[in-house]
Chains A and B, each alone.
Chain A
Amino acid sequence: MGTQPRSQERRNFLNIVLGSGAVVWLGSLVYPVLRYLVPPATAATDVNSVRVATVDELRPGEYRIFRFGRLPGILFRMEDGTLHALSARCTHLDCTVQFDEEKQQIWCACHGGVYDVNGRNIAGPPPRPLERYEVVLKGKDVFVRRGETA
């Protein structure tokens, strides 16, 4: 720096000041646009609990598809009478799975993923089990809540 004439030093200084000013100015233009692109949170995605049925409506061995937020879930009543609920969202690439009554398996038509009735991934590409919801009984009403993963 010492070997440069003063005018050069001043020029460098001005370049840095103006350059950073320009970057900040651009940032102040781009930032609101980037924030605008991020959608606001909607009420539908915040659903945490839903009433699905009454205990009497489901006999052992039966199942019911229910709406959880925007997507479906599956509530099973096993032969021993216990209840469990799963998300119908395939863990592979997000398609909606369906229950194959004949094979007693959960199946995804998109890429052929297969889960057992407990939601465990047993064949095909799904990397994880289906999300498991918590089942809560309040009197005779069956409520499903977002809970732990199987």
Chain B
Amino acid sequence: MSRIYDWFRDRFDLDAVAAFAKKKEVPLYRGTFLYYLGGICLFLFGLQVLTGILLLLYYQPGENTAYESMKTIISRVEFGWLIRDIHGWSANLLIFFAFLHMFSVFFGRAYRKPRELTWMTGFILLALAMGFGFTGYLLPWNELAYFATRVGTNIPGSVPVVGGALLKLLRAGDEVTGATLTRFYGIHVSVLPALFAGVLGLHLLLIQVLGMSVPPSQERLPPEERRSIRFFPNFFLRDVMVWLVILNVIAVLAVFFPWELGAKADPLAPAPAGIRPEWYFMFTFQTLKLLPAHILGVEGEVLGILGFGLGGLIWFCIPFIDRWEGSHKVSRAINVFGVVVVVYMIVMTIWGYLA
């Protein structure tokens, strides 16, 4: 073992890596548990890659094969149901924990200088994860997926000027067809993973370079009152324990709450009653449902979509908006904005499910 280590040490500066790992620390205070959230997302992403690769071994994209191959996976391939359910559940939990991670960073104001790019890469990762969710949703080629994709691709399609071209590009034509499925499949298994891996690498690198952020309340403490623990092995082992718990939770969910395959997509059938998107698109869905046909002469859906776009842009640029150090008014306004966003999302989501 030590000979292998020495072989590598002769060629690379391993001591520097070891020294860095030794030096890396995690702040210890009431909110330390929040530092698990990013790691949980990382673990769930790993699980996605692993189960995704396994599903690739049997899945066959195509209008006449996708649904049938999914059926084979969950009913004939040994443990196929388990792999598929773990893929589905860990995808949902990944989005859930990414949201938690994002809001904890937001309210802890960890996006401030020098971590603006860490925030922005994190935002891009969440957007990519939602892209994974949206493209992956179509792959079983069932009724829900079909209509979710028709609505979902129509949304960028109603953006002024570029909408038409965007819609055609996403659908690979004017309608959602087998060609759309092929395109979504390609995006889901090659384009998004490549982008995600790159941005994730940058996100993790930035965290290593800049260290872990502490909220302003901790920053104000004199250095001798601040406490921390070593990342290796202390915090890392706790990370692994949390991952183990999550894995068990997913196993239980997969066994007791399996994902239904539903009916095969039929372009001639009407949208079934009670159709709705994944929970993380529910607040946008409910908003679009509530908006009237026209607002000030503009189509309601166009205004809604532009509104969400603008909201996302503001959220993305938060580090540059919250830059007046020590200004009590600004930080209060940012906090209120964050609370309004969270409350809006929760209320609309619940409303969407009750409606």
What is the minimal beta-carbon distance from A78 to any residue of chain B, in angstroms? 21
Question: Which of chain A's residues 82-130 have a Cβ closer than 8 Å to chain B?
Answer: 88, 92-98, 108-112, 121, 124-127
Contact A94 B168, CB 8 Å, known A39-B173, A45-B175, A110-B275: no
**Contacts across chains A and B counted by CB atoms under 8 Å:** 92
In B147-169, which residues have CB < 8 Å from any A CB?
A: 147, 150-151, 153-155, 157-158, 165, 168-169
Give the interface SS of chain A, mostly helix, strand, loop or mixed.
Answer: loop
Whether the Cβ atoms of A98 and B270 lie closer than 8 Å is yes
The reply to whether the CB of A64 lies closer than 8 angstroms to some CB of chain B is: no
Could you tell me which residues of chain B, from 238 to 279, have a CB within 8 Å of some CB in chain A? 267-275
Residues of A within 8 A of B147 (CB): 95-96, 110
Q: Which residue of B lies closest to A109 (CB)?
A: B271
**Segment of A24-32, A53-61, A67-75 engaged in the interface with chain B:** A67-75
B272 & A109 in contact (Cβ 8 Å cutoff)? yes
Q: Are B173 and A42 in contact (CB under 8 A)?
A: yes
Q: Does B293 reach chain A (CB closer than 8 Å)?
A: yes
Q: Is A70 touching B177 in the complex (CB atoms < 8 A)?
A: yes
Binary flags per residue of B266-303, CB closer than 8 Å to A gives 1, else 0: 01111111110000000001001111111000011100
Chain A interface residue number, banded: 20 to 34
B117 in the interface, Cβ–Cβ < 8 Å? no
Q: Are B288 and A121 in contact (CB under 8 A)?
A: no
Q: Are A39 and B292 in contact (CB-based, < 8 A)?
A: no
Other-chain residue from B157, B174, B270, B293 in contact with A125 (beta carbon distance below 8 A): B293
Select which of B179, B268, B274, B293 is within 8 A of A109 by beta carbon.
B274
Smallest CB–CB gap between A62 and chain B, Å? 17
**A121-B293, A127-B293 are known contacts. Are A92 and B177 too (CB-CB below 8 A)?**
no
Q: Looking across the interface, which residue of chain A has its beta carbon closest to that of B285? A: A111
Q: Does A17 contact B (CB under 8 A)?
A: no
B172 in the interface, Cβ–Cβ < 8 Å? Answer: yes
Chain A residue numbers with a CB within 8 Å of B293 are 121, 124-127
Known interface pairs A39-B168, A125-B291. Does A72 touch B271 (Cβ–Cβ under 8 Å)?
no
- Within 8 Å CB of B268, what residues of A? 65, 67, 71-72, 96
A111 neighbours in B (Cβ, 8 Å): 151, 285, 288-289
Confirm or deny: A23 has a beta carbon within 8 angstroms of a beta carbon on chain B: no
Count residues of B near A (Cβ-Cβ below 8 Å): 37
Known: A109-B275, A110-B271. A95 touches B151 (CB 8 A): yes
The answer, yes or no, to whether A38 is at the interface (CB within 8 Å) is yes
Q: Is the CB of B179 within 8 A of A127?
A: no
Give the interface centre of B154, B157, B158, B271 by most chain A CB atoms within 10 Å: B271
CB of B150 within 8 A of CB of A127, answer no
Residues of chain B within 8 A of A95, CB atoms compared: 147, 150-151, 271, 275
Taking CB as reference atom, which chain B residue is nearest A73?
B268
Q: Would you call B289 and A112 a contact (CB within 8 A)? A: yes
Would A127 and B300 count as touching, CB distance under 8 A?
A: yes
A112 vs B301: C-alpha distance when bound (angstroms): 14
The reply to whether B270 and A96 contact each other, CB–CB distance below 8 Å, is yes
Question: Which of A42, A111, A112 has the most B CB atoms < 10 Å from its CB?
Answer: A111
What's the nearest-Cβ distance from chain A to residue B140, in Å? 19
Partner of A70, one of B175, B271, B272, B288: B175
Are the CB atoms of B294 and A127 closer together than 8 Å? yes
Proximity string of chain B (119-159) to chain A, C-beta cutoff 8 Å, 1 when within and 0 when not: 00000000000000000000000000001001101110110
Chain A residues closer than 8 Å to B150, beta-carbon distance: 93-96
Closest A residue, CB atoms, query B150: A94
Is A93 a contact partner of B151 (Cβ separation < 8 A)? yes
How far apart are the CA atoms of A108 and B273 in the complex, in Å? 8
The chain A residue with its CB closest to the CB of B290 is A125
27 sampled A-B residue pairs with Cβ under 8 A: A37-B169, A38-B169, A39-B173, A42-B179, A67-B268, A69-B175, A72-B268, A93-B151, A93-B288, A94-B151, A94-B153, A94-B157, A95-B150, A95-B151, A95-B271, A96-B268, A96-B269, A97-B271, A98-B271, A108-B271, A109-B275, A110-B275, A121-B293, A125-B289, A126-B293, A127-B294, A127-B300
List the interface of chain A (C-beta within 8 A of B).
37-39, 42, 44-45, 65, 67, 69-72, 88, 92-98, 108-112, 121, 124-127
B interface list, Cβ under 8 A from A: 147, 150-151, 153-155, 157-158, 165, 168-169, 172-175, 177, 179, 267-275, 285, 288-294, 299-301
Q: Other CB < 8 Å A-B pairs besides A124-B289, A125-B290, 10 of them? A: A39-B168, A45-B174, A70-B177, A71-B175, A72-B268, A93-B158, A94-B154, A109-B272, A111-B151, A121-B293
